[in-house]
Chain A
Amino acid sequence: MAFWNKDDKGVALGEEQVLNVLKKVQDPDLHKDIVSLGFIRNLKIDNGTVAFDLNLTTPACPVKDQMRDEAVALVKALPGVQNVEIKMTSEVRQTPQLDKSALKGVRNIVAVGSGKGGVGKSTMAVNIAASLGAAGARVGLLDGDIYGPTTPIMLGLDLPPKSVGNRMIPQEAAGLKFISMGLLVKSEQPLIWRGPMAHKALQQCLFDVDWGELDYLVVDLPPGTGDVHLTLAQAVPLTGAVIVSTPQDVGLRISMKTLRMFQQTRVPILGIIENMSYYICPHCNSQDHIFGHGGGRRAAEQLGIPFFGEVPLDLAIRTQSDIGSPIVLAQPNSPSGRTLREIAERVAAQISIRSYETPVLEVE
Chain B
Amino acid sequence: MSRPTGTQATTPTKIKKISPGELMVQWADGHETHHLAPVLRGMCPCASCKDEMTGMRMILPIHIPDDLEFRKIEIVGQYALQFEWSDGHHTGIYSFEYLRELCPCPECKLV
- A contact residues vs B (CB 8 Å cutoff): 97, 233-238, 264-268, 358-364
Contact = CB atoms under 8 A, between A and B. Distances in A.
Contacts of B16: 362-364
Interface stretch (B30-38, B44-52, B73-81, B83-91): B73-81
Contacts, number: 52
A234 B13 contact: no
A361 B77 contact: no
Closest 7 CB pairs of A and B: A266-B79, A364-B16, A266-B78, A362-B14, A233-B77, A363-B15, A237-B78
A268 B11 CA distance: 13
Interface of A is mostly: loop
Contacts of B79: 233, 264-267
Contacts of A233: 77-79
Interface of B is mostly: strand
B78 A362 contact: no
A233 B79 CA distance: 9
Given A266-B96, A359-B28, A363-B73, A238 B15 contact: no
Q: How many B residues are at the interface, by size bracket?
A: 10 to 19
A97 B77 CA distance: 9
A266 B11 CA distance: 10
Contact of B11 (A235, A238, A359): A359
Contacts of B11: 359
Contacts of B73: 363
A238 B14 CA distance: 19
B77 A237 contact: yes
Interface string B1-31: 0000000000111111100000000001000
A233 B95 CA distance: 12
B12 A361 contact: yes
Contacts of B93: 234
Contact of A362 (B13, B76, B80, B96): B13
Contact of B78 (A238, A360, A363, A364): A238
25 contacts: A97-B78, A233-B77, A233-B78, A234-B76, A234-B77, A234-B93, A237-B77, A238-B77, A264-B79, A264-B95, A265-B78, A266-B77, A266-B78, A267-B77, A267-B78, A359-B11, A359-B13, A360-B13, A361-B12, A361-B13, A361-B15, A362-B13, A362-B15, A362-B16, A363-B75
